[in-house]
């Protein structure tokens, strides 16, 4: 279970939000909502431990993520809003590198299957600099298919640049992760065909 208590987020000298709280349990899909600049990405960075809250605490399985950082990160997959891709490497090389760095399954056959599943069968060995925006996004998202053991998926705008079919496929993969007892927390400005309506956390309700 992921719990956030009384969170406040400071950027520069500006308090974005305060007294924000939520709880995410096995099977939950939580959509973080609110207008541009309200602090959705900032909240995800707090939740992943990449940034520290001005106040409040985040707990994973009852323990502070600051104290149990390694155990928490073993259970976490975070995909930021910009795919971290090396243009000189192929999608396959990028995925293998990202998985190896994270300690996930990075063998060639598994990574090839993940890229095929995400619709990049014809681009496996191209240099990534020639990929379209949607294809670049898919390279990053392929990690989802190699991260089933990670219970908590935190995804910043995962649907950006995807076509209608890819949005549907991704929504299904996220729904399946939740159906299997996982948890998903995501930001998105678009609707997606999840099998269950996500819960919504409106950051605007906590804005300062």
Ligand X SMILES: Nc1ncnc2c1ncn2[C@@H]1O[C@H](COP(=O)(O)OP(=O)(O)OP(=O)(O)O)[C@@H](O)[C@H]1O
For residue 85, the minimal CB distance to ligand X (Å) is: 20
C-beta of residue 2 within 8 angstroms of C-beta of residue 58: yes
Q: Are 43 and 51 in contact (CB under 8 A)?
A: no
Tell which positions 4-33 bind ligand X, by CB under 6 A: 11-12, 14, 16
Least Å distance, CB 10 to ligand X, is: 9
Q: Considering the complex, state which of residue 168 and residue 207 has its C-beta at the smaller distance from ligand X.
A: 207
Task: Work out whether 37 is an interface residue with ligand X (CB under 6 A).
Answer: yes
Q: Residue number with the shortest CB distance to ligand X?
A: 12
Task: Count the site residues for ligand X by CB under 6 A.
Answer: 12
DSSP 78-127: EE-SS----TTS-HHHHHHHHHHHHTS---HHHHHHHHHHTT-TTSTTS-
42, 90, 123, 147: which one contacts ligand X (CB under 6 A)?
42
Q: Is beta strand 152-156 parallel, antiparallel or unpaired with respect to 55-60?
A: unpaired
Distances (CA, A) of 92 to 4, 100, 106, 123: 36, 12, 10, 9
Q: Which is nearer to ligand X, 54 or 68 (CB)?
A: 54
Minimum distance from residue 33 beta carbon to ligand X (Å): 9
In angstroms, rounded to a whole number, what is the distance separating the alpha carbons of residues 154 and 71? 16
With the CA atoms of 184, 189, 190 and 195 taken in that order, what torsion angle do they form, in degrees rounded to the nearest 10?
20
User: What minimum distance in Å lies between the beta carbon of 71 and ligand X?
Assistant: 26
Q: Which is nearer to ligand X, 42 or 90 (CB)?
A: 42
Q: Residue 38 interacts with ligand X (CB under 6 A)?
A: yes
Q: How far is CA 164 from the centre of its chain?
A: 19
Output the smallest distance, CB 169 to ligand X, in A. 23
Residue 40 binds ligand X (CB under 6 A)? yes
Instruction: Compute the least distance from the CB of residue 101 to ligand X, in Å.
Output: 25
- Which residues of this chain interact with ligand X, rule CB under 6 A? 11-12, 14, 16, 34, 36-42
């Amino acid at each position: 279970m992921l719990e956030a208590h009384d969170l406040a987020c400071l950027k520069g000298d500006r308090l974005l939000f305060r007294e924000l709280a939520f709880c995410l349990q096995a099977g939950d899909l939580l959509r973080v909502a609110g207008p541009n600049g309200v602090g959705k990405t900032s909240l995800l960075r707090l939740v992943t431990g990449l940034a520290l809250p001005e106040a409040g605490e985040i707990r994973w399985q009852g323990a502070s993520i600051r104290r149990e950082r390694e155990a928490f990160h073993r259970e976490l997959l975070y995909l930021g809003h910009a795919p971290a891709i090396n243009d000189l490497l192929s999608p396959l090389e990028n995925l293998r590198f990202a998985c190896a760095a994270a300690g996930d399954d990075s063998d060639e056959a598994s990574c090839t299957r993940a890229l095929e599943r995400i619709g990049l069968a014809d681009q496996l060995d191209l240099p990534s600099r020639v990929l379209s925006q949607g294809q670049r996004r898919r390279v990053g998202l392929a990690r989802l298919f190699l991260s089933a053991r990670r219970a908590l998926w935190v995804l910043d705008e995962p649907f950006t640049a995807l076509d209608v079919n890819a949005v549907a496929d991704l929504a299904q993969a996220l729904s399946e992760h939740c159906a299997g007892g996982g948890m998903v927390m995501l930001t998105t400005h678009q609707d997606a065909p999840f099998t269950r309506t996500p819960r919504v956390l409106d950051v605007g309700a906590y804005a300062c």
